């Protein structure tokens, strides 16, 4: 509560901008008499997609301080909506910045923060006879198998931790083949695998 205005912050994990829009829509239904619904979201990593909206408040006085708290706490795949019931007294830009910043910080402090791993995807095609043992090897390493396709060759899409994907792919193939080589490309040339980095991020 600030000079009669009430600020209610809601924070939610998201996987897309559509999830953030759903949160906003649900809060608008829940609070039909509120004056402002100011928002911020962050998605992905390096680069991170960032969005903010002042929803009628003076430019930079609402969305920016909300987003600033997400950046400060290094949170991504999350959306925040701060609902404002206007109390009849204008707060001025400094007062608004402080109110939206404090509301967001309070919501973050009461939230459960979950650490998840960011994976990038690779498509690996191979002969059918190699597929079962390679799939078992991937699963035994704790890596996600995202897709399996069976056409002229067997293909699987796997995820590798984005921060060390190239090195992890090299280790994965070396351990499976028990051969020594310097790059996944050499492995593909030798055993007929086709390895294509897809670059799509997934969060697990």
**Dihedral pair phi/psi, residue 166, rounded to 5°:** -65, -45
pTM greater than 0.85 (yes/no): no
Confidence of residue 182 (pLDDT cuts 50, 70, 90): confident
Residue ranges matching CATH 3.30.230.30 in the chain: 6-110
pLDDT for 54 equals 97
- For residue 200, what pLDDT is reported? 83
**Length, in residues, of the chain:** 204
Q: Where is pLDDT greater, at 52 or 203?
A: 52
Q: What is the pLDDT of residues 103-119, one digit of tens each?
A: 999 999 999 998 888 88
- ω before 47 within 30° of 0 (cis)? yes
CATH ID of 6-110, from 1.10.443.10, 3.30.230.30, 1.10.645.10, 3.40.930.10: 3.30.230.30
HSE (CB half, 13 Å, CA atoms) of 114?
11
Tens-place pLDDT, residues 111-170: 999 888 888 999 999 888 889 999 999 999 999 999 999 988 899 999 999 888 888 988
Residue 97 · residue 184 · CB < 8 Å: no
Compute the average pLDDT of residues 32-57: 91
Phi, psi of 201 (to 5 degrees): -85, 140
What is the second-level CATH architecture of the domain 118-203? 2-Layer Sandwich (3.30)
49-83 residue pLDDT tens: 999 999 999 999 999 999 999 999 999 999 999 99
DSSP label of 128: G
> 78-85 and 154-161: which strand pairing?
unpaired
Residues 112 and 59: their CA atoms lie apart, in Å, by 30
Do residues 79 and 12 touch, judged by C-beta distance below 8 A?
A: yes
Alpha-carbon distance of 28 to 23, in angstroms, equals 9
Task: Report the alpha-carbon distance of residue 197 to residue 123 in Å, rounded.
Answer: 6
pLDDT band at 44 (very low <50, low <70, confident <90, very high): confident
């Amino acid at each position: 509560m600030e000079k009669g205005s009430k600020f209610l912050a809601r924070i939610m994990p998201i996987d897309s901008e559509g999830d953030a829009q759903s949160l906003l829509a649900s809060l608008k239904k829940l609070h039909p008499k509120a004056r402002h619904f100011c928002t911020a979201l962050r998605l992905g990593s390096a680069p991170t997609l960032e969005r903010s909206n002042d929803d009628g408040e003076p430019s930079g006085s609402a969305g920016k301080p909300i987003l600033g708290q997400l950046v400060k706490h290094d949170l991504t795949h999350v959306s925040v909506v701060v609902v404002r019931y206007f109390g009849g007294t204008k707060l001025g830009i400094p007062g608004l910045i402080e109110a939206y910043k404090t509301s967001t910080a309070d919501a973050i402090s009461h939230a459960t923060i979950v650490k998840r791993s960011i994976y990038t995807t690779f498509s690996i095609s191979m002969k059918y006879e190699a597929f079962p043992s390679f799939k078992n090897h991937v699963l035994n390493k704790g890596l996600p198998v995202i897709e399996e396709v069976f056409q002229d060759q067997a293909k699987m899409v796997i995820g590798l931790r984005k921060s060390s994907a190239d090195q992890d792919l090299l280790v994965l193939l070396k351990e499976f083949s028990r051969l020594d080589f310097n790059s996944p490309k050499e492995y593909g040339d030798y055993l007929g695998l086709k390895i294509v980095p897809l670059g799509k991020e997934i969060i697990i």
